[in-house]
Amino acid sequence: MHILIDGDACPVVPIIDRVAQEKGIPVTLLIDTNHVFASDTMEVKVIGAGRDAVDFALVNLTQKGDLVITQDYGVAAMALAKGARVLHQSGKEFTDENIDGLLHDRYLHAKERRTSGKHHLKGPAKRTPDDNARFEAALLKIVNKNSSGNNP
């Protein structure tokens, strides 16, 4: 298993880094040139700033059995198609069973924004320690299942 992180606006990088170090799992963080991040414990790939450049680089690196961390439903769908497990920063796992509905909801929200003239709908609530705990529990569940040889 290799963990790949869509690093654009990812608040759980420190959690992933700590868990990956404890479990001996390699991590690659992908960011664009608008972000600055350095790490002694994970590989950081800076991808040219371009629309979806980080997303496509992440998907190109993804292999079967990897774990992808992203909040982007499109990235999640492409990573699932390559046989990866995909986890949202909320701790919700993207699966073959739920991705179509999530993509449909994204389409409906985009359509609503276009027709309403609004560029943004109400955003997510402020992140809490409980959010971090939920994410860490979900991450550990996947990592522990993988380390025990029970890959789906």
Instruction: Give residue-wise pLDDT tens across range 95-147.
Output: 999 887 777 776 677 777 778 776 666 667 889 999 999 999 999 999 998 87
Q: How far apart are CA 28 and CA 26, in angstroms?
A: 7
Q: The domain that contains 130 carries what CATH number?
A: 3.40.50
Contact 16, 82 (CB under 8 A): no
Domain containing 51: what range? 3-147
Residue 41 lies in a domain: yes
Give residue 137's pLDDT.
98
Indicate the number of domains in the chain. Answer: 1
Q: What is the pTM of this model?
A: 0.86
Give residue 1's pLDDT.
95
Q: Is the pLDDT of residue 82 over 90?
A: yes
Residue 152 lies in a domain: no
